[in-house]
Amino acid sequence: MGNTKDYAWEVVQFHGTESAVKDDEIASEWPLTVMLNGDEFATMVCSPTDLDDLLIGFLAAEGIIRSYDEVISISVDEYKGFAYITVRNELETIHQDHSKRFIGSCCGKSRQFYLKNDAKTAKTVYSSISISVEQCYVLMEELQCQSVQFMRTGGVHNAALAEPDGVFTVRTDIGRHNALDKIYGHMLRNRIPVKNKLIVFSGRLSSEVVLKIAKIGAGIILSKSAPTDLALRLANDLRITVIGFARGSKMNVYTHPHRIVEAQKNN
């Protein structure tokens, strides 16, 4: 499913106290139940686009698979809203650690907040990627220009896989985590190496977002929105460069500024 299924909805629109009836385009919200090796595993609410990317990225982020080669089959029943996936791992192993909290002996560091599957899959990032401040501004503008569905509906998040010189894959979803899973799945399915890659993002930078970036292995996350305190503590631990409030010609670099070329002069 490559095209987003948005809907027209009649609204009464006000400009000041003047009103008019018009059709407004609404983003589609779609429940998808994942059947894994014959058993119900999870139900997610998503945008009905790039579902193979979403499913593969979701399974990798949850620690179910490490590569696309571990997937035996995958099919989606769009009418019923079910995805049927068979993987090489045994179900007993899959469910054993899923969603159990991991309490680590990290001297009070942020990793004590990990779930067990996060502890297995969210690794410290040693990427040597670097980027200029000007390139950050250009990449955010590129994401904004390619965010066609957001401009139509205002109801979705966008994530892009990029190199410092440009954006080359954009994925859209009503859920910011889903948008990142779609990027991750696209990388796995197409065997795209993470070296010299970064993620450009429209959403708030929560701890869950930073963990997904660590799972992908990208050294930089660039967003127009704000981070949380836990996200920044995790990013410090995981050696991820967090850039937030990238809007126009302004941005904040919160962690590991050594990857920003101009910042090297002051460190």
**What three-state secondary structure class fits 192?**
coil
Bridge partners of residue 253, in order along the sequence: 243
Q: Residue 100 — φ and ψ, nearest 5°?
A: -90, 135
Task: Tell whether residue 245 is among the known ligand binding residues.
Answer: yes
Helices and strands counted in the chain (H then E): 8, 12
Query: Scanning the structure block, which residue is given the tokens 């967003």?
Result: 223
Q: How far apart are CA 71 and CA 56, in angstroms?
A: 8
Residue 110 assigned as binding residue: no
Distance between start and end Cα atoms, the chain:
47
Select which of 46, 106, 107, 145 is catalytic: 107
159 is in an annotated binding site: no
Element (H, E) at 141: helix 133-146
d(CA 168, CA 156): 19
Cβ atoms < 10 Å from Cβ of 230: 14
Tell whether residue 265 is among the known ligand binding residues.
no
Tell me whether residue 250 is annotated as binding.
Answer: yes
107 catalytic per annotation: yes
180 φψ region: left (φ > 0), alpha (ψ -120 to 50), beta (else): alpha
Residues marked as catalytic: 107
Binding-site positions: 245-250
